[in-house]
Amino acid sequence: MKKSNVDIYQKRINRQYLTLLFTLFFVVITLIAGSFYFRFYRAGITRRAEGNEYDQYYVMITDNYKSDFWQSVYRSALETAKEHGIYVDLLGENLSGDYSCEELMRMAIASKVDGIIVYASEAVSMTNLIDEAVKNGIPVVTLYGDSTHSDRLSFVGVGGYSVGKLYGKQIVNIIKDNRRQELLESETIGDRTQIQIAVLANADTLDAGQNIIISSMQDTIRQENATDSEFEVSIVTVDNTNAFAVEESIRDIFMQEEVPDVIVALNELNTVCAYQAVVDYNMVGDVNVLGYYDSEEIIKAIDRGVIYATVAIDTDQLGTYSVQALMDYYEFGNTSEYYTADITLINKENVGDFKKKEEQDE
């Protein structure tokens, strides 16, 4: 009997070992196939894309090429590049299957592109890939997310300190509204209710810029005479493996016994999922969402009072500056280390102006 159990256990181990080997083999084959496909794809587009000849070929790598935010950034980058005889490809858009930023980086390096614009992070794997690209003579510009310890050429993004100040001022307004409401209801000044603030952070993000936003937000609140007893900031980790996982992570917040008074979303997807959850759980007016980006959907939500405010980023500048950094490198041998795009706060007071602008653009 004992021998039989040992045999069964050994067979089980062998099966697990074979499964692991097969999985690793499949991953390697997938990456190799993707690289070869990308090489053929590049060969057909580099020198004669859309019937025109281009002198250089850059790629842009993002975590979600389908989002309105990244599509807007890409359009600006492509338009700027074409004016100078360069083509920019939004890598992943024309590939079958979903690839991570790291996998797309490997494809770009293997294909020896002329420049890489990548949404980076402080992860060691991303730092190593950027350094590998640079060693192979490919300049890299980090976009929106930085890799400060890498050999990247430039970082194009937004000022985290400024973003934090905008969020902080809106939270101060929420605290003041809460004070007035409590005074009206009690007619005396007693212990004030503590405003619970939840900042949504992606699980795979090691982002120093995120810490700057939170620190700046807290400093701004305190500068407006809000005491620590009136607010508390917590960081909620969001599983950003895919859109469904993000939605589930944010909905879990609303399943808790105490739901935050303010939710701060630091990207477009988290913003949309947060306000949809507010609507689905019938908490409009109870939960204030501070969002990121100014898509048509987000603007409409502000107009309806579902989103309290959002930080709009000049995506045209992000795209233009990314290409400009690579062009300056090739022309002058160096470029600026930092490029900062403009930001604007949109809330109930000025959302009408943005709606009129959208209608005029259409």
pLDDT in tens, 45-104: 544 555 567 889 999 999 888 889 999 999 999 999 999 999 999 998 877 777 889 999
E-assigned strand segments in 266-323:
288-292, 309-313
Element (H, E) at 233: strand 231-238
**Dist CA 334 CA 154 (whole Å):** 10
Q: What is the pTM of this model?
A: 0.80
Helices first, then strands: H and E counts in the chain: 11, 12
Task: Supply the pLDDT for residue 206.
Answer: 56
Element (H, E) at 198: strand 195-202
Percent of the chain with pLDDT over 70: 80
Q: Provide φ and ψ at 87, rounded to 5°.
A: -115, 135
The full set of domains in the chain, from first to last, is 2-152 (3.40.50.2300), 160-314+344-361 (3.40.50.2300)
Looking at every residue in the chain, the average pLDDT score rounds to 84
Tokens for 324? 């400009």
Task: Supply the pLDDT for residue 2.
Answer: 45
